[in-house]
């Protein structure tokens, strides 16, 4: 626990002593306790403030995050202390300078020489869904078929007879024998309960026979829905249990909707998890059912993260009114625009590529992947984008394949031609595989590249097999995008992968796959650039750069005290960095015991 001194009396609340933490010599405590006029590092006398701070943090090493460079080049002095009042940064500087803000009731926290950085923004989450996943079956760590089946069996035994077996997030690419799961694996162990277990990327799912029966899927039909595929045995036509993209909806619509109370509990669970990882803000790809949950949490004073939401809808033009009706437009909870889908994922071979997949089998129905039903109506899609742009909404569109990204950029270019240039950033969610000629267009069109670096750790295991080496020049092109002047923001896509932002920093810097191989290292960023993509850049992307994202007077006091300094530790330890304290709006929302 951080050593904490409260008020002028400075009572010790931490379990560790100042000696153990190596902080705060007695002479320094006497200086602060005495309330005398202190001298700053520059020798200027600092008068006592007439209005004390709520919180003063001293003994740290501050990275303000105002530019994507490592300390101390980011600021003129190596600041060690920050004062907070009314939920905002009051001032920062050295310890002596910040003494002027200490008064009765000030909580004084000594960081013990640790690194202090702005709070992390995860720029792509499904926060309520992540809260549900924390309480569901997680198959990501299954090492093979037998363990996979055993984990499903254990989950089924835990559930009531009428409950669905839900969760998943499985991936087979790292298995010694990477067999694709089928309904035959799980039918014997699910006890007649319907089951839907999503792949890690969420773009295909394994379902059992009970779930297929509820949806009326058998060897006789139905046909594949637009933008989806019911995987079938080529010889018999029998469904294998794998549903891709929109075909998942045939089963998902039969899953009982969770109650508002369960959604609220999932949000609270997710926020606690986020705080423990240093996430103070999210850009959330949410649904209409999440809106009243966010509203309730804000009204009850329960929000411990900031949420900027993008409604996931099938046809934006039918849903403009939902944003206005929701009346969520505070600095804590707001709706900014809409989330749509261009295509699927690389792992499911449903990302839409310009050329065929390199490993496409002759019988593959969609050898280039698939556009969604909405995106496939290209002219109508362009008009929808332009209409939303004209109404002042921000668009966040999922695009993974190089051709899907190309067509999305074309739609944004059309909106600009029709409506004129504005200062609003539309977004390309994922932007994983790009045609090299499209990379400069992000900066030219003012499009945010919203990327999830830990996806690279996953895709690196099979991307070359899927699309060939030549097309990798535009894959996970962080370095090329930054160098071209694009605004790059990072997130996780949680619960698709871990919410831990330092796992993302590790991947963006070290370029290691989940199997430990280095992949596309020349596309990597520096530590400071990666952190900038998690702090200042996301605030700019949502038009809140004047309020969030850096440690500067007047901005919200969202900041972290870290257990290790990401700028000085060995690069291979970046994924192990954790906060010892997370502060959001001047309030400590997480403190490590």
d(CA 216, CA 237): 14
Peptide linkage before 194 cis (omega within 30 of 0): no
Q: Token digits for 277?
A: 């990882």
The total number of residues shown for the chain amounts to: 593
Query: Which residues is 166 bridged to in the sheet?
Result: 196
CB atoms within 10 A of CB 27: 7
CA distance 587 to 276: 14
Distance from C-alpha of 212 to C-alpha of 233, rounded to nearest angstrom: 15
Sequence ranges of the domains in the chain: 3-113, 127-252
pLDDT in 10s for each residue of the chain, 593 residues: 454 444 433 333 333 333 233 333 323 333 343 333 333 333 344 566 668 999 999 999 999 999 998 887 765 457 999 999 999 999 999 999 999 999 999 999 999 999 999 999 999 999 999 999 999 988 988 999 999 999 999 999 999 888 999 988 888 887 888 888 999 999 999 999 999 999 887 889 999 999 999 999 999 999 999 889 999 998 999 999 999 988 999 999 999 999 999 999 999 999 999 999 999 999 999 999 999 999 999 999 999 999 999 998 767 777 788 888 888 889 999 999 999 999 999 988 999 999 999 999 888 889 999 999 889 999 999 999 999 999 999 999 999 999 999 999 999 999 999 999 988 899 999 999 999 999 999 999 999 999 999 999 989 999 999 999 999 999 999 999 999 999 999 999 999 999 999 999 999 999 999 889 999 999 999 999 999 999 999 999 999 999 999 999 999 999 999 999 999 999 999 999 999 999 999 999 999 98
The CATH code of the domain at 3-113 is 2.30.40.10
pTM, two decimals, is 0.86
User: Which fold is adopted by the domain 127-252?
Assistant: Diaminopimelate Epimerase; Chain A, domain 1 (3.10.310)
Where would I find the beta strands (DSSP E) of 72-227? Answer: 81-85, 88-93, 107-110, 115-118, 120-125, 137-138, 165-170, 195-199, 204-207
The residues facing 183 across adjacent strands are none
Q: Contact, 442 vs 477, CB < 8 A?
A: no
């Amino acid at each position: 626990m951080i050593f904490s001194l409260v008020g002028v009396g400075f009572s010790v609340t931490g379990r560790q002593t100042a000696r153990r933490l190596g902080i705060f010599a007695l002479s320094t405590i006497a200086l602060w306790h005495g309330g005398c006029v202190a001298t700053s590092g520059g020798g200027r006398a600092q008068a006592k403030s007439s209005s004390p701070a709520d919180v003063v943090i001293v003994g740290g090493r501050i990275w303000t995050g105002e530019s994507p460079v490592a300390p101390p080049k980011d600021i003129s002095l190596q600041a060690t202390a920050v004062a907070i009042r009314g939920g905002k940064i009051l001032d920062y500087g050295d310890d002596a300078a910040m003494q002027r803000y200490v008064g009765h009731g000030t909580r004084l926290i000594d960081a013990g020489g640790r690194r202090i950085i702005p709070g992390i923004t995860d720029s792509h989450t499904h926060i309520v869904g992540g809260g549900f996943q924390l309480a569901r079956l997680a198959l990501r760590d299954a090492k093979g078929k037998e363990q996979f089946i055993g984990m499903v069996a254990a989950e089924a035994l835990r559930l009531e007879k009428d409950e669905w077996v839900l969760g998943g997030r499985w991936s087979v690419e790292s298995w010694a024998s990477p067999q694709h799961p089928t309904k035959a694996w799980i039918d014997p162990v699910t006890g007649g309960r319907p089951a839907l277990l999503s792949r890690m990327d969420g773009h295909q799912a394994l379902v059992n026979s009970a779930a297929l029966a509820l949806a009326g899927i058998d060897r006789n039909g139905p046909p594949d829905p637009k933008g989806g595929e019911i995987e079938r045995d080529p010889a018999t036509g029998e469904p294998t249990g794998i549903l891709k993209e929109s075909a998942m909806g045939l089963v998902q619509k039969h899953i009982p909707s969770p109650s508002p109370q369960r959604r609220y509990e999932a949000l609270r669970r997710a926020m606690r998890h986020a705080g423990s990882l240093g996430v103070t803000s999210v850009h959330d790809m949410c649904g209409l059912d999440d809106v009243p949950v966010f509203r309730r949490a804000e009204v009850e004073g329960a929000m411990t993260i900031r949420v900027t939401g993008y409604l996931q809808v099938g046809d934006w033009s039918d849903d403009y009114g939902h944003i206005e009706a929701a009346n969520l437009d505070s600095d804590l909870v707001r709706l900014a625009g809409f989330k749509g889908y261009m295509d699927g994922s690389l792992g499911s071979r449903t990302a839409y590529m310009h050329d065929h997949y390199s490993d496409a089998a002759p019988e593959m129905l969609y050898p280039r992947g698939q556009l969604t039903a909405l995106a496939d109506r290209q002219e109508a899609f362009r008009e929808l984008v332009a209409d939303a742009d004209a109404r002042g909404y921000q668009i966040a569109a999922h695009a993974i394949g190089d051709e899907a990204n190309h067509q999305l950029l074309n739609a944004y270019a059309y909106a600009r031609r029709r409506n004129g240039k504005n200062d609003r950033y539309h977004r390309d969610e994922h932007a994983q595989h790009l045609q090299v000629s499209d990379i400069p267009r992000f900066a030219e069109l003012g499009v945010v590249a919203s990327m999830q670096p830990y996806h690279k750790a996953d895709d690196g295991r099979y991307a070359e097999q899927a699309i060939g080496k030549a097309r990798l020049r535009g894959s996970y092109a962080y370095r090329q995008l930054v160098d071209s002047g694009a605004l790059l923001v990072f997130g996780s896509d949680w619960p698709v992968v871990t919410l831990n932002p330092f796992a993302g920093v590790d991947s963006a810097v070290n370029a290691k796959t989940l199997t430990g191989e280095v992949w596309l290292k020349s596309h990597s960023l520096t530590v400071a650039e990666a952190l900038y993509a998690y702090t200042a850049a996301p605030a700019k992307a949502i038009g809140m750069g004047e309020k969030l994202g850096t440690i500067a007077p007047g901005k919200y006091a969202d900041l972290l005290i870290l257990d290790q300094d990401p700028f000085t530790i060995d690069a291979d330890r970046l994924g192990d960095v954790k906060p010892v304290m997370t502060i959001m709006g001047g309030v400590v929302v997480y403190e490590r015991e």
